[in-house]
Copies of this chain bind each other. A is one copy, B any other.
């Protein structure tokens, strides 16, 4: 019953979740994808040494200990988290960065406090426009740049969590123990781990991880002029059968997931004939805001041969998953429809 991840780097630790663990509504903590820029703290910080500071453009800066945070009103929220660069390797044109396939995504039920509650206690000033998060991970590389990201104060006040619990467990060390930010429906880069400082700013934070990366830009374009990666794109993935699997003719159970960031998935359709006909998939499992839907399609297949399965999600606003996502230099936001070839042999 060992559960293994697909590890891309050890330092920083970057690993994706294999297909078979994407078939449940809950993604187990021990195989939940991990993407880091810095070095994960070697061991959990003693809670007596930890505090959360809220400073900057606020009327009343705060320093809170862990117990104070746990005694605040609790929020429990399901949220699907996706790495900004998930499915980068599936762009036809090569993009720079870790070669994620489809496993840079997972769904968990998080426990914590609404960021709004803390910000309201601190009292943002009228010029407060962005909220920056600083973690305790150690910067790697020669430049030693701390991973700091900021999000607009509207997002921070409306739908952002500080999570200390993940799937009923204390937040694992690998996922930000003791506290991480979660901008619900936004990509992982906006959800700083090992959080210890929140800085309220009158403008977006300026720094490497805001200006040079996590932006969509083209060759020759100044990264800083590119669109910042925020919300998770509408997307569906096929998780069973495995790609290139050889199957027997008959009834084949096709499984997958679909997600839409801050929006909700309305339907998923499957094609087994290269996109000529589309058949509805059926949702299975919980239906909760910000969380993916698991779906299945019972495929009745009689003829042997090579088949390409396609899945396509539509959200509640009627937006449809594109055939091809817009390529960009760093390969962010690839939600294009993926060709999923399988072979059927007569049993």
Contact = CB atoms under 8 A, between A and B. Distances in A.
Interface stretch (A167-175, A201-209, A228-236): A167-175
B253 A286 contact: no
Interface in A70-116: 71-78, 109, 111
A110 B10 CA distance: 32
5 contacts: A23-B74, A23-B165, A24-B76, A76-B285, A286-B286
A71 B286 contact: no
A255 interface: yes
A26 interface: yes
Interface in A4-47: 21, 23-28, 30-31, 44
B167 A26 contact: yes
Given A109-B286, A111-B24, A165-B24, A74 B170 contact: no
6 A-B pairs closest in CB distance: A76-B285, A28-B168, A26-B168, A24-B168, A28-B169, A76-B284
A143 interface: no
A252 B73 CA distance: 9
Max chain B Cβ within 10 angstroms of own Cβ: one of A74, A77, A78, A296: A74
Interface residues of A, number: 40
A27 B298 CA distance: 31
A277 interface: no
A306 interface: no
Given A28-B167, A109-B285, A288-B288, 6 more contacts: A1-B172, A31-B168, A71-B253, A77-B285, A78-B286, A167-B168
A75 B284 contact: yes
Contacts of A284: 74-76
Interface in A160-189: 165, 167-170, 172-173, 177
Contact of A167 (B44, B167, B172): B167
A73 B281 CA distance: 12
Contacts of A73: 253, 296, 298
Contacts of A126: none
Nearest to A44: B1
Contacts of A71: 252-253
Nearest to A286: B288
